[in-house]
């Protein structure tokens, strides 16, 4: 029997815990109860639709292809004649889903948007390892689908590689299992790949150099991180310009799965800060140890100074397979993942349901804020993507080889949205609304953005460009946020304000393509409008 004192303590603990959770920032929303596929790869298009993509060799999904559009593949180990969709197009505002046709296996592939808004998708497993695919987005009322390029293919098979758009609008494809090289799309100097010895040097017995973290710096070179090391890479001359200090805390890339972002570029764009967070203990993958504690450490480094060092700090939770999402404000959302194990099928436990906000301008030791927890475990093969309305779309999680719905951590078909604190209703009166801006902006040019705000503007309204990355395996390929030089907001009548902005100086700061343009007033972002930077 429970004593009255114990019962009272139990009630007080319950009330305290409930109140604490209710007071944590952020809210959750179920967008789609069944997307039909578990999204291993996710990307947001300029038409405010979302491409969800899984592998093809998993057998039946929960979404059929359109009648007459079945895939016939004699080499498929599960379904030779496959009438199920393995990719869908989602309208987040309505929840509508449309099946897409993908022909070759996209398991652990890579992607990047091209300057014209086309999604380039490369590699995979099996018959997809050398394939190049394109998805040209269209409005929700039209019909668009995947296209497999027949006339060109990758020089090296690419499985677990990383894509990054370059200043000239081409794409570099880095690494992959058994591919210690880089290549380009379109191919440079004819077809072929270029050996990249750094990927040989960082390969260990569990191949912790897969899905390398690749960031284009505003000096035009690449910051490439693999395992626990990083280099400054001149891809034009295939030359390593700098070896950065080793990051303490063990391996950070697949399968030991931390995550990484480049913080917002601002000012004169003469500096770039890289953050790498989380990861698994070395050996957890080899030993198939799902109980091995995840790392909670983060390293932060100034990539463009002469003698950079890693500044270390700890997250509130150890985390593997977390996704780091650049928010329109310049803060970073860390979400999804687990507190033990490693990447791989059946290899993680103790899901980390608590998102964390990383506030880069706060002193070290005070940068992390714990947010309102979700209720859906998002582990292996989950994704997180910024939406134009400021929410973060959360998809996927399939820690099993096939779709499995009766497991402790089932295959996840639900799509959720997490709303940061800046979307609280009480902040609506300071949330700007963009009413005027050009559809295209040219490098180094001036242009105006007109916004309306319910309450008078106090101070500077930021205007920030956010890319639409390709999110997969705890890293968002091509993710960047650029804060533009702006004038003070000038009243323009009827509650509107005119802000004069200067576009990025060149493609090293922001490669050509479509960006979400946000106006941010006192930490509260507008709904973004898409602009093309040319």
pLDDT in tens, 205-255: 999 999 999 999 999 999 999 999 999 999 999 999 999 999 999 999 999
Residue-level pLDDT at 382: 98
Residue 21 has pLDDT above 90, yes or no: no
CA distance 55 to 177: 17
- Taking residues 338-347, what's their average pLDDT? 97
Residue-level pLDDT at 494: 87
- What is the pTM (predicted TM-score) of this model? 0.94
Please, how many CA atoms are within 13 Å of residue 226, restricted to the half-sphere of its CB?
Answer: 30
**Ordered alpha helix ranges (H), 194-253:** 197-201
- Taking residues 320-349, what's their average pLDDT? 97
- Taking residues 252-267, what's their average pLDDT? 97
Please, how many CA atoms are within 13 Å of residue 110, restricted to the half-sphere of its CB?
Answer: 29
CA distance 273 to 304: 8
Other CB atoms within 10 Å distance of the CB of residue 305: 11
Residue-level pLDDT at 140: 79
CB of 120 closer than 8 Å to CB of 185: yes
pLDDT tier at 20 (50, 70, 90 boundaries)? low
Minimum mean pLDDT among 12-16, 75-79, 168-172, 404-408: which range? 12-16
**Which residues have a Cβ under 8 Å from the Cβ of 67 and sit 6 or more positions away?**
none
CATH for the stretch 428-533:
2.60.40.10
- Taking residues 47-67, what's their average pLDDT? 96
CA distance 280 to 137: 37
At which residue do the structure tokens 């050009």 appear?
438
CA distance 515 to 113: 10
């Amino acid at each position: 029997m429970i004593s009255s004192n114990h019962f009272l303590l139990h009630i007080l603990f319950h009330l305290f815990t409930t109140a604490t959770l209710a007071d944590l920032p952020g809210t959750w929303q179920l967008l789609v109860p069944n997307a039909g596929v578990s999204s291993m790869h996710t990307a947001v298009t300029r038409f405010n639709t979302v491409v969800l993509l899984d592998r093809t060799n998993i057998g039946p999904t929960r979404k059929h292809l359109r009648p007459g559009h079945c895939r016939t593949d004699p080499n498929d180990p599960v379904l030779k004649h496959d009438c199920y969709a393995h990719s869908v197009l989602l309208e987040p505002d309505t929840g509508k889903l449309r099946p897409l046709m993908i022909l070759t296996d996209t398991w652990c592939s890579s992607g990047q948007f091209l300057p014209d808004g086309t999604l380039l998708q490369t590699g995979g497993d099996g018959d997809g390892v050398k394939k190049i695919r394109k998805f040209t987005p269209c409005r929700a009322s039209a019909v668009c689908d995947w296209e497999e390029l027949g006339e060109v293919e990758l020089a090296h098979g690419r499985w677990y590689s990383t894509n990054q758009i370059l200043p000239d609008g081409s794409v570099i494809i880095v690494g992959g299992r058994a591919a210690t090289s880089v290549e380009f799309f379109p191919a440079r100097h004819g077809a072929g790949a270029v050996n990249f010895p750094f990927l040989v040097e960082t390969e260990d017995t569990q191949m912790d150099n897969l899905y390398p973290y690749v960031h284009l710096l505003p000096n035009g070179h690449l910051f490439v991180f693999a395992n626990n090391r990083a280099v400054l890479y001149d891809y034009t001359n295939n030359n390593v310009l700098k070896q950065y200090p080793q990051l303490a805390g063990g391996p950070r890339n697949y399968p030991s799965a931390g995550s990484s972002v480049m913080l917002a570029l601002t000012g004169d764009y003469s500096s770039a800060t890289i953050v790498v967070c989380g990861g698994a203990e070395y050996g957890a993958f080899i030993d198939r140890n799902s109980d091995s504690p995840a790392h909670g450490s983060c390293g932060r480094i100034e990539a463009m100074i002469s003698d950079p060092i890693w500044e270390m700090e700890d997250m509130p939770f150890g985390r593997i397979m977390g996704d780091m999402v650049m928010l329109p404000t310049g803060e970073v959302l860390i979400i999804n993942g687990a507190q033990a194990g490693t990447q791989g099928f059946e290899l993680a436990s103790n899901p980390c349901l608590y998102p964390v906000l990383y506030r880069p301008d706060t002193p070290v030791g005070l940068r992390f804020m714990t947010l309102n927890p979700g209720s859906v475990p998002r582990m292996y093969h989950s994704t997180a993507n910024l939406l134009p309305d400021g929410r973060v779309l959360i998809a996927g999680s399939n820690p099993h080889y096939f779709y499995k719905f009766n497991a402790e951590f089932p295959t996840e078909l639900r799509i959720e949205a997490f709303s940061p604190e800046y979307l609280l209703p009480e902040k609506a009166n300071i949330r700007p609304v963009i009413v005027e801006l050009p559809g295209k902006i040219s490098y180094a040019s001036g242009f105006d953005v007109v916004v309306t705000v319910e309450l008078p503007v106090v101070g500077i309204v930021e205007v920030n460009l956010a890319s639409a990355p390709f999110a997969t395996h705890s890293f968002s390929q091509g993710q960047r946020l650029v804060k533009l030089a702006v004038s003070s907001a000038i009243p323009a009548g009827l509650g509107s304000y005119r802000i004069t902005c200067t576009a990025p100086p060149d493609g090293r700061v922001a490669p050509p393509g479509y960006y979400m343009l946000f106006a941010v007033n006192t930490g509260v972002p507008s709904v973004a409008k898409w602009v093309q930077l040319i």
